[in-house]
Amino acid sequence: MIRIDSVTKRFGRATAVDNVSLDIPAGDSVALWGVNGAGKTTLIRCVLGLYRFSGRIEVGGHDVGRRGKRARALIGYVPQELGFHDELGVAEAVRYFALLRGLRVRSAESVLDDVGLAGHGGKRVRELSGGMKQRLALAIAMLGNPPVLVLDEVTASLDACGRGEFVGLLSRLSGAGRTILFASHRIEEVTTLARRVVVLEAGRIGAQTDSETFAESLGLHSMLHLTIRESTRRLALEHLCASGFAARMNGVGLLVPVAREQKAAPFRVLAEARIAIDDFELIAADAAGAPAHTQEAQP
């Protein structure tokens, strides 16, 4: 679905992407992993046709350089931060971008409802929080059900709780069969969304592996399931999030991704907050169907 062939992008004398080749078949999800400046965003911008580059990129068989409009019609894009006119209405924005995709949205509210923005259609974009803006960007990216989703460090501007919620939403909406290419340096996003991880180092592909192996290699693969009474569950979530844990609620308690050497840390936080834990279980990420980390690991 996405074919990147010997792509090089230079800014003056600096080489941001250096002879990168990557083939992403339909339905695959690939994370571009790397520190800031590794070339993740530059490569994504090349895929979107925002930069001129040497080499060739095809999306759905369309050359991005020559038939960029056709290629982008297959892509739903969520940027790091949403670039909108602040005065634009939320529902108005949905209708505007739908028109650019040749779609007519009968009810913007139903589109917004899918990303948890029901009732916000009448607001101006500037009235939305950072997390809400990202949800709006996601709603727009999903217009027309595009087969490719391109995400560029979509949770970089969100707090820990916001990140967890947004990644959960992405995981739910991205669905099976969609091709996903995303840049990230957050392990929870990688383990939740990606099947494959491509490590970029100074613009070059350093390594390629599946996300499980990648997470194992970072030593970050444990999840605590805490059973907590409903009356104190929300308070517990707030305390854990405030302490840097990407915790989230499930049916009977909380799921808390933890680093291997920090499994006791959530207990300490909740004990200090005088919140009782009825039971706990240490589970694998796969069983929880979710990520397993609190730390923003860097490669």
Partner 1 sequence: MTAHAASTARALDTRPARPPAMPANVLTIALRELRDAVRSRWFLLYTLAFAALGLGVSYVSALGSGGAGLSGFGRTTAGLVNLVLLVVPLMALTAGAGSIASDRERGILAYLLAQPVSRFEVLLGKYFGLAGALLACLCLGVGACALVLALKGEATRPAAMLWLVGLAFGLSLGMLSLGMLVSVLARRASVAVGTAIFLWLALVFVSDLGLMAGALAFRLRIETLFALATANPLQVFKFWSLHSADATLDVLGPAGLYAVDTFGDHVVWLFTSVLAAWAVVPLAIAAVIFSRRAPV
State in angstroms the smallest separation of the CB of 3 from partner 1.
14
Our finding on whether 10 is near partner 1 (CB under 8 A) is no
- CA–CA distance from 43 to each of 48, 49, 154 (Å)? 9, 10, 15
Our finding on whether 83 is near partner 1 (CB under 8 A) is yes
CB atoms within 10 A of CB 99: 12
Our finding on whether 52 is near partner 1 (CB under 8 A) is yes
Our finding on whether 1 is near partner 1 (CB under 8 A) is yes
- Out of 32, 38, 45, 191, the only residue in the binding site for partner 1 (CB under 8 A) is 45
Our finding on whether 99 is near partner 1 (CB under 8 A) is yes
Our finding on whether 273 is near partner 1 (CB under 8 A) is no
3-class state of residue 70 by DSSP: helix
Q: State the Cα–Cα distance between residues 3 and 63, nearest whole angstrom.
A: 9
Contact in structure between 223 and 292 (CB atoms under 8 Å) = yes
For tokens 């069969």, the residue is: 177
Greatest Cα pair distance, the chain, in angstroms, is: 62
The piece of 70-78, 153-161, 221-229, 252-260 that touches partner 1 (CB under 8 A) is 70-78
State in angstroms the smallest separation of the CB of 40 from partner 1.
14
Our finding on whether 39 is near partner 1 (CB under 8 A) is no
Tell me 115's DSSP state. Answer: T
Task: Spell out a b/e string for 214-247, using b for 16 or more CB atoms within 10 Å of the CB, else e.
Answer: bbeebebbbbbbbebeeebbeebbebbbebebbb
- Out of 66, 85, 126, 195, the only residue in the binding site for partner 1 (CB under 8 A) is 85
Contact in structure between 233 and 270 (CB atoms under 8 Å) = no
- CA–CA distance from 6 to each of 183, 187, 213, 218 (Å)? 19, 27, 26, 29
Q: Which is nearer to partner 1, 169 or 249 (CB)?
A: 169
For tokens 């070339």, the residue is: 39
Our finding on whether 119 is near partner 1 (CB under 8 A) is no
State in angstroms the smallest separation of the CB of 127 from partner 1.
15
State in angstroms the smallest separation of the CB of 218 from partner 1.
30
The piece of 30-38, 56-64, 198-206, 285-293 that touches partner 1 (CB under 8 A) is 56-64
Q: State the Cα–Cα distance between residues 150 and 46, nearest whole angstrom.
A: 12
Write out the binding residues for partner 1, residues 139-178 only, by CB under 8 A: 142, 144-147, 172-178
* CA count, 13 A, side-chain hemisphere, 124: 6
| Structure tokens given for 128 | 């939305």
Q: Which is nearer to partner 1, 26 or 264 (CB)?
A: 26
Our finding on whether 267 is near partner 1 (CB under 8 A) is no
Give me the amino acid identity at 256.
V
Our finding on whether 74 is near partner 1 (CB under 8 A) is yes
The piece of 107-115, 194-202, 221-229, 283-291 that touches partner 1 (CB under 8 A) is 107-115
- Out of 3, 70, 196, 204, the only residue in the binding site for partner 1 (CB under 8 A) is 70
Helices 160-174 and 230-242, axial angle in degrees (round to 10): 110
Q: Which is nearer to partner 1, 180 or 223 (CB)?
A: 180
Residues that bind partner 1 (CB under 8 A): 1, 26, 45, 48-52, 60-62, 68-70, 72-75, 77, 79, 81-85, 87-88, 96-97, 99-102, 110-111, 113-115, 142, 144-147, 172-178
